[in-house]
Structure 1
Amino acid sequence: APQAPPPVFQLDGLALGRKNATAWINGQMLQHGEPFAGRTVHIGDGEVRLRLSGESDIVLRPGQQVSDTGAVLSDVLAPGSLRKK
């Protein structure tokens, strides 16, 4: 039987506030510490990590699509194109 393709995660947006952080992954709004696809969302400075105990983190940067193995499938932003104000 054909196998389904592995899940793909896309970081659509990221907002860092003084007291909280929000990320939009696959169109879903998520807060730091929330569960998503069996992993825990950890929002950092310019990236989101999806953590699962005993597994490697899936690291997402804005505009990236990453497989559940952590392989970057596409990156719509060139490295270094994001800057902090």
Structure 2
Amino acid sequence: MKEVNADVAIIAAGPAGLAAAVAAAENGASVMVFEKSNVTGGCGNMAMGPFGVESRLQKKQIIGLTKEEAFKMHMDFNHWILMPD
């Protein structure tokens, strides 16, 4: 196993992890960010969708997504594990 060194190790590159990494780096720390997914952003990648579900704007754009479908998509994305920051 390869050994790496940093002042700060961030596990998970979601919104909170990325903000912590930037703050640490801006304050002079050497930072390493580890993410298990193939993209960064975590739940932030879906944050805008659920808030407009079944809204007037969504209906105007003829987007047929229900609250139940949006909830299931979000929970499937997170493997039905809630990890609040």
Higher percent of residues as strand? 1
Is the structural similarity TM-score above 0.5? no
TM-score where L is the length of structure 1:
0.23
Structure (1 or 2) with the larger CA radius of gyration:
2
Higher percent of residues as helix? 2
TM-score where L is the length of structure 2:
0.23
